Structure 1
Amino acid sequence: MRVHIVAVGRLRTGPERDLIDDYATRFDRTGRALGLGPLNIHEVEDKKGGGMAAEAALLERALPDGAVRVALDERGKLMTSPEFADQLGGWRDQGRGDVAFIIGGADGIDPSLRASVDAKLSFGKMVWPHMLARVMLAEQLYRAASILAGSPYHRV
């Protein structure tokens, strides 16, 4: 199952990009034997300043057809890392070809797009900058693959 992070904004060179690249490489290496990956990152930018609706249209175009759509949203479901791993493994076991995690811009995800997703995931009640949300998601994807592989990376 291919995994996608579809996000508003371009991540420049720097420590966040380095972390994402590192976790993506780890995820791809660990996930390959589990039928997970590769991890693809799709960045969209609304250069015309059309707001959330314009961002939603760009995000929609970047989403793979038939993908499980998961919005990162502070109103979403809180999950433990093992629960997240089980969910990811469950989608894979159902034969889903793609899962896409959607990260909105500064104002979040347009309500129309948020209403169309299959699941909403929260990293807590706090709002996180999209750069850090991407890093945290990339790490959790690697952690999920490690849990599913029985690796000692995740400790309870």
Structure 2
Amino acid sequence: MLLHIIARGKIGRSPEAELVERYGKRITWGFKVTELPDRGGTMPPVAASPVRTVAMDERGKHLTSAEFAKVLGRWRDDGVREARFLIGAADGHDDGLRQSADLLIAFGAATWPHMLARAMLAEQLWRATSIIAGHPYHREG
């Protein structure tokens, strides 16, 4: 299954970009990052169906890493070919996008800069795929 981060804004050369790249290289599943302008732009075409859309949103569910891994594992086992993770610009997502998403996820109650959220998401995708693979790195607290 392709794990595809689609994010608003350019991350450029930054510590956050280095983290996204570092975790992206560790993910053994397909992994891709697409950047869109802060406003407008065209969503990339779906490479293969079925696809699931996850909007990173402050009103979303608070999932543990293990719960997140279960969602991804279930989708993979159900034949989902691509999971898209949408990160909005500073103003977040509009209501239509939130309503059409298959899942809304929040990184806790705090507000995070979208560039840092991108790095956090890449780390959680790596962690989830590691949990699914039975890697001993992840430990529940």
Q: TM-score, normalised by structure 2?
A: 0.92
Aligned partner (choices 14, 24, 44) of residue 62 of structure 1:
44
* Aligned-residue offset at 1:110: 1.3
What do residues 19-65 of structure 1 show as CA deviations (whole Å, max 9, x unaligned)? 1101000013xxxxxxxx2110010004xxxx5xx3xxx36x22626
1:129 paired residue number = 113
2:80 paired residue number = 96
Aligned partner (choices 39, 43, 49) of residue 35 of structure 2:
43
Contact in 1 for aligned 2:50/2:79 (Cα 8 Å): no
Matched residues in 2 for 1:95 and 1:68: separation?
11
Percent of pairs identical after alignment? 48
Q: Which has the higher helix share?
A: 1
Q: TM-score, normalised by structure 1?
A: 0.83
RMSD: 1.4
Contact in 1 for aligned 2:6/2:84 (Cα 8 Å): yes
Aligned partner (choices 68, 91, 95) of residue 111 of structure 1:
95
Structure 1 portions without partners, runs of 5+: 29-36
* Aligned-residue offset at 1:137: 0.4
Matched residues in 2 for 1:72 and 1:14: separation?
21
Structure 2 portions without partners, runs of 5+: none
Q: Does 1:81 align with 2:65?
A: yes
1:32 paired residue number = none
Contact in 2 for aligned 1:5/1:42 (Cα 8 Å): yes
What do residues 4-28 of structure 1 show as CA deviations (whole Å, max 9, x unaligned)? 0001001111211111101000013
Change (3 A) 1:93 1:41: same
How many residues end up aligned between the 2 structures?
Answer: 138
Matched residues in 2 for 1:125 and 1:69: separation?
21
**Counterpart code for 2:129:** A
